[in-house]
């Protein structure tokens, strides 16, 4: 087992990636292979970057990139809501809350890295 598998943020991102895999299959065909694929790809990218951030030498760079991808994910989720790709509001709400929670965890992780780097 890898060390990142024990991270709370990794587990949350993994759950979100699995959730998107499940809900995208219910998207209309015109959304499934375009915006749905984008959701799945972003979720996978975020998961991989969180795992990579667990290595000390690349942590800050990866966390900044994770936060950028999470912002892209929020925008894509909002677009999905606007074009009515989600079957119900609960799917949109769960996805949004999950991405925000992961963002907060990554921001806290990044802040802790920045403050520890200033300590002599």
Cα–Cα distance for residue pair 94/96, rounded to 1 Å: 6
Cα–Cα distance for residue pair 47/12, rounded to 1 Å: 9
Cα–Cα distance for residue pair 25/29, rounded to 1 Å: 9
The domain locations on the chain are 3-118
pLDDT recorded at residue 61: 93
Model confidence pLDDT, tens digit, residues 56-66: 788 999 999 99
Q: What is the mean pLDDT of the chain?
A: 92
Q: Is the pLDDT of residue 120 over 50?
A: no
Helices H / strands E in the chain, number of each: 5, 0
Provide CATH code, domain 3-118.
Answer: 1.20.1440.60
pLDDT recorded at residue 38: 97
**pTM for this predicted structure:** 0.89
Mean pLDDT in residue range 83-103: 96
Mean pLDDT in residue range 5-30: 95
User: Could you tell me where the beta strands, DSSP code E, fall in 1-120?
Assistant: none
């Amino acid at each position: 087992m890898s060390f990142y598998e024990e991270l709370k943020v990794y587990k949350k991102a993994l759950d979100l990636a699995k959730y998107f895999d499940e809900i995208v299959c219910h998207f209309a065909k015109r959304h499934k292979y375009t915006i749905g694929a984008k959701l799945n790809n972003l979720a996978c990218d975020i998961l991989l970057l969180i795992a990579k951030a667990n290595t000390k030498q690349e942590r800050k760079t990866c966390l900044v990139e994770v936060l950028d991808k999470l912002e892209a994910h929020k925008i894509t989720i909002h677009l999905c809501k606007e074009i009515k790709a989600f079957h119900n509001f609960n799917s949109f709400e769960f996805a949004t809350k999950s991405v925000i929670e992961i963002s907060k965890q990554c921001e806290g992780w990044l802040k802790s890295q920045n403050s520890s780097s200033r300590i002599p």
